[in-house]
Structure 1
Amino acid sequence: MTETWKYALIGGLLALPFTALAAWRSPENISLGMVVVGSAIAGYLVKRRGGNSTATGLRAALIGGFPAVWPLSELIWAIPTVPNPLWFQAVGISMILGVGGFILAVVAVFGALAGRFGGWLAERRGHGGVASTGGGV
């Protein structure tokens, strides 16, 4: 497992229960604050090891923010129960999938920006992103 995925899993799994709880309690009003925090932590941790904080933040956000699309599954299951022509149901399902893709894209953008912020914070705290070899010249 690469360092990028290792720290993305740490940040994403940190945010996942909070996002799942928010989706369960209030599906129409989900807060993604913990996704941003988890992505920033992941970006900070990977930058300390010399990794790409933006990619790590994006992956952490997709892991931690995936429960944000769970409420759309209820809509997908409700479409066949409404008496409409088949083509209308297909359009409805494709629109819901498009909304789900848009939600994941927004989560990914915020995660990438938060990961970049975490990497910037690591650099400001003195972690240049290059692992030292321990030898001095």
Structure 2
Amino acid sequence: MSLQFELSKTWQCALIGGLVPAMFTVAQVLQSSSNITFQGLFLGSAIAGYLVKRHGGTGTAAGLRAGLIGGLPALWSLKGLLMTVPTVPNPLWFRAVGLIMTLVVGVWLLALPVLVGALAGRFGGWLAERRGYPRLPAAGS
């Protein structure tokens, strides 16, 4: 029994466009988790959108996924906050509010690169369309 796993073209292009920005994000989080800039996320997502549009896919979907891949390491910066909030000697309601605020920051840390990635992927798809992709087969062939 063989186990085959095949990625769609959208995911392949998203991995190409998202892994390099993810490595930069990991480096920034390890260096200083208080200063994350998501370097290269727009460019990587635009490349993913361009590549997938060349194969007839949707640039926005590839850019969104590239943004998710590139921004996911930023959640590592919340580790210290999640460890600190429950141990602070404050009333239970204060710790609960702190935990909720930490989760809201986590959602924001993930939503921002996904939004930027989707917009950049759409831009990359637009560039591919301007260059004549996807090329339609000639009539009668």
TM-score scaled by length of structure 2: 0.87
Q: Give 3-state SS (helix, strand or coil) of 2:40's partner.
A: helix
Distance in 2 between the 1:14 and 1:122 partners? Answer: 21
1:57-136 paired onto structure 2 within 5 Å = 57-127=63-133, 129-130=134-135, 132=137, 136=140
Amino acid at match of 1:66: L
TM-score scaled by length of structure 1: 0.89
- Number of corresponding residues: 135
Distance in 1 between the 2:83 and 2:57 partners? Answer: 41
Amino acid at match of 1:107: P
Instruction: Report the RMSD for the aligned CA atoms in angstroms.
Output: 1.7
Q: Does 1:55 align with 2:86?
A: no
Identity of aligned residues (%): 56
Give the deviation of 1:126 after TM superposition.
2.1
Distance in 1 between the 2:30 and 2:83 partners? Answer: 17
Q: Does 1:45 align with 2:51?
A: yes
Q: Structure 1, unaligned stretches of length 5 or more?
A: none
Give the deviation of 1:136 after TM superposition.
4.0
